[in-house]
């Protein structure tokens, strides 16, 4: 192999055009999966599993480095950014020093470049050029984003560039960052710099942040959700944080999958931002999630931080490296995936929470104002074993719009977009608890996946349209009194507890947490949303 050769499609422009790189050594542009896997094996970046997936490890960082994320403070975007702990400001001068440092490093490395789309709707897509030093990260991006037809690569000009140097440590004193890691976004220069972390999720989430900035200006609502299509063409959205079942519940053999994580909602309908899936696979079992299981055992899939036996068989039960084990694969590895990543205007919006306090009902119908309130709240609960540093008690988590780390604009703006979208067409909204019943984590039991599927399917199929509902007293939620195939007692969380007084105390405590969290958004919300807010009951 000629180390000075640039590998690129015939008649294409220079593979490093638009990146700011002046020269490069060996550059492998737009290689397909088999070639990238071959390079990854050659470079000892990973090994093949017994099923053919590429197994890799990300070292120190097994998840996002939230405190190392920055947006460059630039005049043209300054007034629109939601500044604070989520979007820390980096001065332009510091960013320029970091860019020069990263570019100088990349110019001396073997590089892998991928030209890809973000956005399945051509009217709202962007062109992304990734430059990375790792073949497996190039494969990750190729799996995750939309792969242009070969004929379109010759004229490809990137709208955004990602300079990816996972093995390069930044200098906080010189580059203005917090540590040796930096995930830095310049909206004005349309540039992302990622250094000091091998965790591949930073690549996809940086572009989702970009789309969260761009789409509202196009009257499109960006969403951290999964989406699928029913037999009659009806579209359902599934909002939810990690561990709530967003990917699992949208991967249904009876419905066509649009996408599992990031979407846009325009006046014409829903479209996938991505072209692949990034499924959490800790505890993955074939019986419960056959689509994800099958995709995780295919050549071309990347298994991130998944442990394996000596024979290369993945052990999805082993969280020895991290509970955040992942499988990254093209969406067409899912048999019933939408071929174009698009669907009509949503008919149902499902908001998922894994309530570890055991007080929310397994399903409730929301008014549009309640839906906006719960969207802004973005509630779930974390438990010991899912993250380092958590104690024995559940920890309530509120992540605005079910994706606060990826919001470059204020959450109220996205809440107003949801309200406007719900007002344009008939949409039924649901709150689904995939967490605990009969008591909190450690006392109660987790609601069975089969029961959650039965509840969700009944809602999406219209079988709850004529069922009586009652309003429970703590959260103002409308609960069905009967769902076929599900015990009536499960529907009323209070009745599943042995101690009614203990349930009332736990429910009041969670209601107070909701109320305290909402104070952050109250002033920026419409009156009807403020009226729909949860209020703790007087003792």
Identify the three-state secondary structure at position 158: coil
Do the annotations mark residue 224 as ligand-binding? yes
Phi, psi (deg, nearest 5) at residue 6? -100, 120
**Tokens at 342, concatenated:** 């698009």
Do the annotations mark residue 71 as ligand-binding? no
Do the annotations mark residue 326 as ligand-binding? yes
Do the annotations mark residue 196 as ligand-binding? no
Do the annotations mark residue 476 as ligand-binding? no
Do the annotations mark residue 248 as ligand-binding? yes
Do the annotations mark residue 447 as ligand-binding? yes
Do the annotations mark residue 5 as ligand-binding? no
Do the annotations mark residue 373 as ligand-binding? no
What is the C-alpha separation between 54 and 47, in angstroms, rounded?
Answer: 6
Beta strands in 240-391 (DSSP E): 256-259, 262-266, 269-272, 276-280, 302-304, 307-308, 314-315, 326-330, 342-343, 346-353, 363-366, 379-382
Do the annotations mark residue 62 as ligand-binding? no
Cα 87 to chain center, whole Å? 17
**Closest by Cα among 210, 206, 207, 245 to 225:** 245
Residue 12, class by beta-carbon neighbours within 10 Å (0-12 exposed, 13-18 middle, 19+ buried)? Answer: middle
What is the C-alpha separation between 294 and 289, in angstroms, rounded?
Answer: 9
Do the annotations mark residue 242 as ligand-binding? yes
Q: How far, in Å, are 25, 29, 118, 192, 424 from residue 110 at the CA level?
A: 6, 11, 25, 20, 51
Do the annotations mark residue 428 as ligand-binding? no
Do the annotations mark residue 246 as ligand-binding? yes
Do the annotations mark residue 261 as ligand-binding? yes
Do the annotations mark residue 205 as ligand-binding? yes
What is the C-alpha separation between 352 and 454, in angstroms, rounded?
Answer: 15
Question: H or E stretch including 428?
Answer: strand 428-433
Residue 180, class by beta-carbon neighbours within 10 Å (0-12 exposed, 13-18 middle, 19+ buried)? Answer: middle
**Tokens at 327, concatenated:** 């499988």
What is the set of active-site residues? 64, 205, 224, 242, 246-247, 261, 326
What is the C-alpha separation between 128 and 153, in angstroms, rounded?
Answer: 12
Residue 115 CB partners (closer than 8 Å, separation 6+): 29, 30, 127, 128, 129, 148, 153, 156, 158
Identify the three-state secondary structure at position 404: helix
Do the annotations mark residue 365 as ligand-binding? no
Whose tokens are 């790792």? That residue is 134
What is the secondary structure of 204-218 as a DSSP string? Answer: HHHHHHHHHHHGGGG
Q: Which ranges of 345-443 would DSSP assign to H, the alpha helix? A: 368-377, 411-424
**Tokens at 210, concatenated:** 């970009």
Do the annotations mark residue 245 as ligand-binding? yes
Binding site: which residues? 64, 199, 205, 224, 240-248, 261, 289, 326, 446-447, 452
Binding site for ATP: which residues? 205, 224, 240-248, 289, 326, 446-447, 452
Binding site for Mn(2+): which residues? 205, 224, 261
Binding site for substrate: which residues? 64, 199, 205, 326
């Amino acid at each position: 192999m000629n180390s000075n050769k640039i590998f690129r499609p015939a008649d294409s422009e220079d593979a490093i055009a638009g990146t700011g790189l002046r020269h490069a050594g060996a550059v492998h542009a737009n290689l397909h999966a088999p070639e990238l896997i071959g390079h990854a094996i050659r470079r000892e970046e990973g090994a093949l599993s017994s099923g053919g997936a590429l197994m890799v490890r990300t070292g120190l960082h097994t998840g996002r480095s939230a405190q190392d994320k920055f947006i460059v403070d630039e005049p043209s975007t300054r007034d629109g950014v939601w500044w604070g702990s989520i979007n820390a400001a980096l001065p332009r001068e510091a960013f320029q020093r970091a860019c020069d440092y990263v570019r100088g490093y990349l110019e001396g490395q073997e590089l892998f470049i991928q030209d890809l789309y973000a956005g399945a709707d051509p009217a709202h897509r962007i062109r992304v050029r990734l430059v990375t030093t790792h073949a497996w990260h190039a494969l990750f991006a190729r799996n995750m984003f939309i792969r242009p037809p070969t004929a379109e690569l010759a004229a490809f000009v990137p709208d955004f560039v990602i300079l990816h140097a996972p093995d390069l440590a930044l200098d906080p004193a010189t580059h203005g960052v917090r540590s040796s890691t930096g995930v830095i976004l310049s909206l004005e220069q349309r540039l992302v710099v990622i250094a000091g972390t091998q965790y591949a999720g930073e690549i996809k989430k940086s572009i989702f942040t970009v789309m969260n900035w761009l789409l509202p200006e196009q009257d499109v609502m960006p969403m951290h959700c999964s989406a699928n299509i029913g037999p009659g063409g009806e579209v359902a959205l599934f909002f939810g944080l990690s561990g709530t079942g967003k990917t699992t519940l949208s991967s249904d053999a009876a419905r066509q999958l649009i996408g599992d994580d990031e979407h846009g909602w325009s006046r014409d309908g829903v479209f996938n931002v991505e072209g692949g899936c990034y499924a959490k696979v800790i505890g993955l079992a074939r019986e419960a999630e056959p689509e994800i299981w099958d995709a995780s055992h295919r050549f071309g899939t990347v298994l991130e931080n998944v442990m394996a036996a000596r024979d290369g068989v993945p052990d999805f039960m082993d969280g020895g490296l991290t509970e955040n084990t992942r499988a990254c694969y093209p969406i067409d590895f899912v048999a019933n995936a939408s071929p174009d990543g698009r669907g009509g205007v949503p008919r149902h919006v499902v908001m998922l929470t894994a309530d570890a306090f055991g007080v929310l009902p397994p399903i409730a119908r929301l008014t549009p104002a309640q839906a906006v309130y719960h969207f802004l709240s973005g509630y779930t609960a974390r438990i010991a074993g899912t993250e380092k540093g958590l104690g024995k008690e559940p920890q309530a988590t509120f992540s605005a719009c079910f994706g606060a780390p990826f919001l470059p604009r204020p959450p109220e703006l996205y809440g107003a977009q949801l309200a406007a979208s719900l007002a344009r067409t008939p949409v039924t909204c649901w709150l689904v608890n995939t967490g605990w019943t009969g008591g909190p984590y450690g006392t109660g039991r987790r609601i069975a996946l089969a029961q959650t599927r039965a509840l969700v399917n009944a809602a999406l199929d219209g079988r709850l349209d004529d069922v009586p509902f009652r309003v429970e007293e703590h959260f103002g939620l409308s609960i069905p009194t009967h769902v076929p195939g599900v015990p009536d007692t499960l529907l009323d969380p209070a009745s599943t507890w042995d101690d009614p007084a203990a349930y009332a105390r736990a429910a009041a405590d969670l209601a107070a947490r909701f109320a305290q969290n909402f104070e952050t958004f109250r002033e920026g919300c419409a009156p009807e949303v403020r009226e729909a807010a949860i209020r703790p009951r007087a003792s």
